[in-house]
Amino acid sequence: MNIDWSTDLYCLIGHPISKSLSPKIHNYIFSENKTNGIYLCFDVKEKSLETVISSFKALNIKGFNVTIPYKIEIMKYLDDIDREAEMLGAVNTVKNFDGRLIGYNTDGIGFLKSLKNKGIEITNKTFLILGAGGASSAISTRLAIEGAKKIIILNRDLNKAKKIACKIEDNFRDVLVNYGPYNFIDFNFDEVNIIVNCTSVGMYPNIDFVPIDLNLFRKKVLVYDVVYKPLKTKFLKMAEDKGFATMSGISMLINQAIASQQIWYGDNNFKFDVIEKRLEGFLYNNVE
């Protein structure tokens, strides 16, 4: 890294941000792409968000990521918001266009890219989405944009599942949507092609839990867990034992970061696919 007067600063704001992998990922990409940038983390305390954002403008920070708990609150301090981020109601990436801050959300794109990289088609598939928080909303919205056949959302808090389902129904007439609790009786397990765990169940330190009993699924499904700590969750281990294909949240994490870089820099002939593979290996040694 060769820091000089023209080095661009990028960063993550959130609270807490300890142990975030974003600096490792973005600085790795800067180094691989030979871009003169550096990525830092700022632990932003409650009530100082507005001041932080105006100082970012004053300092001409080129772009930043936003994480818990500011993905929604940040929206009121931005000059414009991309349609997808607006629709799902959360921003995780901001680009500074000559003093105008524009918000985006790359979580859904990152998820989708990780599937596409494995050659997985979306349009003919039924997705079972577990959870109805931020990750669920981003992933469900992106799947609807891509024309998934059907999206079923299960959650403990039914109102949250209903909110996402209604938004999809209103905006994407061709996509079939359903929602319910975990013991949802009006739903056929055999129609599911891909299960996506968007809950925090199974995340370190509570690694002995799974979000749903995979024995309910008689046909082969792909099991995707957005949790990446641990890299192989109990849910993924159980899926493997049943002979199901699996994908870990690390690929979504890497691809949402790459999508942020693409917003900041454009494609610019960067070899993101090569970087993605190398990053995966690099992170396997860095996730605790």
End-to-end CA distance of the chain: 25
Q: How do beta strands 245-248 and 176-180 pair?
A: unpaired
19, 57, 62, 71: the active-site residue: 71
Judged by beta carbon, residue 41 or residue 135, the one nearer ligand ATR is 135
Judged by beta carbon, residue 157 or residue 170, the one nearer ligand ATR is 157
Q: What amino acid occupies position 111?
A: F
Which residues of this chain interact with ligand ATR, rule CB under 6 A?
131-136, 155-157, 160, 198-201
Backbone region of residue 2 per phi and psi (left: phi > 0; alpha: psi in -120 to 50; beta: other values): beta
Judged by beta carbon, residue 96 or residue 137, the one nearer ligand ATR is 137
Cα–Cα–Cα angle for 171, 173, 177, nearest 5°? 90
Q: What's the min distance (Å) between Cβ of 130 and ligand ATR?
A: 7
Q: What amino acid occupies position 81?
A: I
Judged by beta carbon, residue 107 or residue 276, the one nearer ligand ATR is 107
Q: What's the min distance (Å) between Cβ of 131 and ligand ATR?
A: 3
Spatial distance between the Cα atoms of 6 and 87, rounded to a whole number of angstroms: 36
Q: What's the min distance (Å) between Cβ of 100 and ligand ATR?
A: 27
- DSSP string spanning 203-243? -TT-TT--SS-GGG--S--EEEE---SSSS-HHHHHHHHTT
**Does 71 qualify as catalytic in the annotation?**
yes
Q: What's the min distance (Å) between Cβ of 226 and ligand ATR?
A: 7
Active centre residues (catalytic) = 71
